[in-house]
Amino acid sequence: MTVGASDQSLHQMTLAELGDGLRAGDFSALELTTALLDRIAAHGEALNAFITVTADEAMRAAEAADAARSNGNAGPLNGLPVVHKDLFCTAGVKTSCGSRMLDNFVSPYDATVVAKLRQAGAVSLGKTNMDEFAMGSSNETSYYGPVKNPWDHEYSPGGSSGGSAAAVAARLVPGATGTDTGGSIRQPASLTGTVGLKPTYGRVSRYGMVAFASSLDQAGVITRSAADAALLLGVMAGFDERDSTSVDHPVPDYVVGLDQPLEGLRVGIVRQHFDEGLEEQCGARVREALALLEEQGASLVEVDLPNLDLSVPTYYVVAPAECSSNLSRFDGVRFGHRASDPDDLLDLYCRSRGEGFGDEVQRRVMTGTYVLSAGYYDAYYLKAQKVRQLISQDFKNAFASVDVIAGPTAPTPAFRLGEKTDDPITMYLNDIYTIGANLAGLPGISVPCGFSADLPVGLQLVGPHFAEQTILRCAHQYQTLTDWHCRCPEAYQ
């Protein structure tokens, strides 16, 4: 089935607009799904944003959504299309984590995030490309090759959720799931001109989400607007007894209150966010956004995060330590890649892991194993955890006087593919403004706030624990005054 020319504008509509259209009967879920699958077929290969496209399953889900609406049983996301980052287990579908290690793994069950969206009526179109096991900031560590930035195919879309961000930016799908361990939702959102929301740690279940660093990983969403992010989070959030890190905290209606004005909102400005590492035009766009918030009644308050400069080295001790433990299960014995004709059990382990894991994953596993080893645990891992508490306390102190903290999401716009692959330290520094929120378990959102050299720039808003409503309201109010989030790459209009 191919939709007519009058339906081609469907790809430019937000989730909220599509929901209104489905309820009004302007088009069916089947027509919408077909239109987007056609776009994925036309543009997916050039972007390399997908690892798996589940066209048949999507068509069946769309037919079921239309039937449910006809019967009066439509869920809150009935017929709305989404895609999942390829580390969310999805029953009957390959879940590869962007790695050769899991290239042959088909999940026997759904992650809680996948199940909740499915139960709400969402239609999954497939699984998106990503940095291998979510380790990377450019989507270049994927076994399936790099994702291209829709604004310029020679540039990176960021990572590790680069496939989800590119798919949303190119209007292949209106919403996508992602995960954020050190900025892996917010940084690609900034580099692609999309909205990326990382909720409070424990707000969204991690059950069925393949772990990278368990105390840092958090599921979130990438969308076109803050209102769409609020819509998806309302379905995804909530306590899950199968996840020991899930927090039993009431889930509000995130959409309600988005239209409340910013009058009286206290916005913290961190001195360390505007240092010499920030690209000039990125800084200018963020300052313009802050001035606009101030014009709408928000007050700008300078705050200090004295230990923020230590966030990157702290993260790159804690995260590799946890990944070395989490990835020890991939040994070639029970599932995943297995080396052929091993000489003995040790050879099976060594070659399966050596062949199955890419360079960046091996680098982090080795680093993590080292910092956890006898004689170095106290000097590195234990000290990093102490500094992590200092960073968390800095945020707590700052939020005593402000409601949100605002600043740049990334220090530069998108960089060229291959530009930083030979220098891991430079690549790691691309997350310098986002890592702090993960170490402290805080919610954060990135929204488009302009361009630098024709490439998008993101404004980051971070709130106290469980203050998703506040940062979503601030982001939404900013988007009612600007149209940066409506800009679409010329090739994908």
Could you give the number of structural domains in the chain?
A: 1
Give pLDDT tens digits for 338-359.
999 999 999 999 999 999 999 9
Q: What's the CA gap between 446 and 485, in Å, rounded?
A: 11
**Does residue 184 have an active-site annotation?**
yes
Q: Count other Cβ atoms within 10 Å, centred on residue 295.
A: 10
Answer yes or no: is pLDDT of 337 > 90.
Answer: yes
Answer yes or no: is pLDDT of 108 > 50.
Answer: yes
At 334, is the pLDDT very low, low, confident or very high (cuts 50, 70, 90)? confident
The confidence score (pLDDT) of residue 268 equals 98
CATH at residue 20: 3.90.1300.10
Answer yes or no: is pLDDT of 3 > 80.
Answer: no
Give pLDDT tens digits for 250-260.
999 999 989 99
Q: Which of 28, 96, 160, 324 is catalytic?
A: 160
Q: What's the CA gap between 222 and 285, in Å, rounded?
A: 21
Tokens at residue 174, please?
């209106």
The confidence score (pLDDT) of residue 7 equals 52
Structural domain including 385 reads 1-493
Residues 32-53, mean pLDDT to the nearest whole number:
97
Q: Which of 411, 401, 467, 457 is nearest to 434 (CA)?
A: 411
Q: Which of 85, 127, 148, 198 is catalytic?
A: 85
Answer yes or no: is pLDDT of 132 > 50.
Answer: yes
What HEC string does the chain produce?
A: CCCCHHHHHHHHCCHHHHHHHHHHCCCCHHHHHHHHHHHHHHHHHHHCCEEEECHHHHHHHHHHHHHHHHCCCCCCCCCCEEEEECCECCCCCECCCCCHHHCCCECCCCCHHHHHHHHCCCEEEEEECCCHHHCCCCCCCCCCCCCCECCECCECCCCCCHHHHHHHHCCCCCEEEEEECCCCCHHHHHHHCCEEEECCCCCECCCCECCCCCCCCEEEEEECCHHHHHHHHHHHECCCCCCCCCCCCCCCCCCCCCCCCCCCCEEEEEHHHHCCCCCHHHHHHHHHHHHHHHHCCCEEEEECCCCHHHHHHHHHHHHHHHHHHHHHHCCCCCCCCCCCCCCCHHHHHHHHHHHHCCHHHHHHHHHHHHHHCCCCHHHHHHHHHHHHHHHHHHHHHHCCCCCEEEEECCCCCCCECCCCCCCHHHHHHHHCCCHHHHHHCCCEEEEEEEEECCEEEEEEEECCCCCHHHHHHHHHHHHHHCCHHHCCCHHHC
Answer yes or no: is pLDDT of 6 > 60.
Answer: no
Q: Which of 137, 161, 164, 184 is catalytic?
A: 184
The confidence score (pLDDT) of residue 4 equals 38
The confidence score (pLDDT) of residue 423 equals 84
Give pLDDT tens digits for 354-407.
999 999 999 999 999 999 998 899 999 999 999 999 999 999 999 999 999 999
Percent over 70 (pLDDT), the chain: 98
The confidence score (pLDDT) of residue 315 equals 95
The confidence score (pLDDT) of residue 8 equals 54
For residue 328, say if its preceding peptide bond is cis, omega within 30 degrees of 0.
no
Residues 213-227, mean pLDDT to the nearest whole number:
97
Give pLDDT tens digits for 259-316.
999 999 999 999 889 888 899 999 999 999 999 999 999 999 999 999 999 999 999 9
At 5, is the pLDDT very low, low, confident or very high (cuts 50, 70, 90)? very low
Residues 65-82, mean pLDDT to the nearest whole number:
97
Give pLDDT tens digits for 15-32.
999 999 999 999 999 999
Residues 394-421, mean pLDDT to the nearest whole number:
96
Mean pLDDT of the chain: 95
The confidence score (pLDDT) of residue 429 equals 83
**Does residue 85 have an active-site annotation?**
yes
The confidence score (pLDDT) of residue 421 equals 85
Tokens at residue 330, please?
């991939």
Q: What's the CA gap between 29 and 178, in Å, rounded?
A: 23
The confidence score (pLDDT) of residue 271 equals 85
At 2, is the pLDDT very low, low, confident or very high (cuts 50, 70, 90)? very low
The confidence score (pLDDT) of residue 1 equals 34
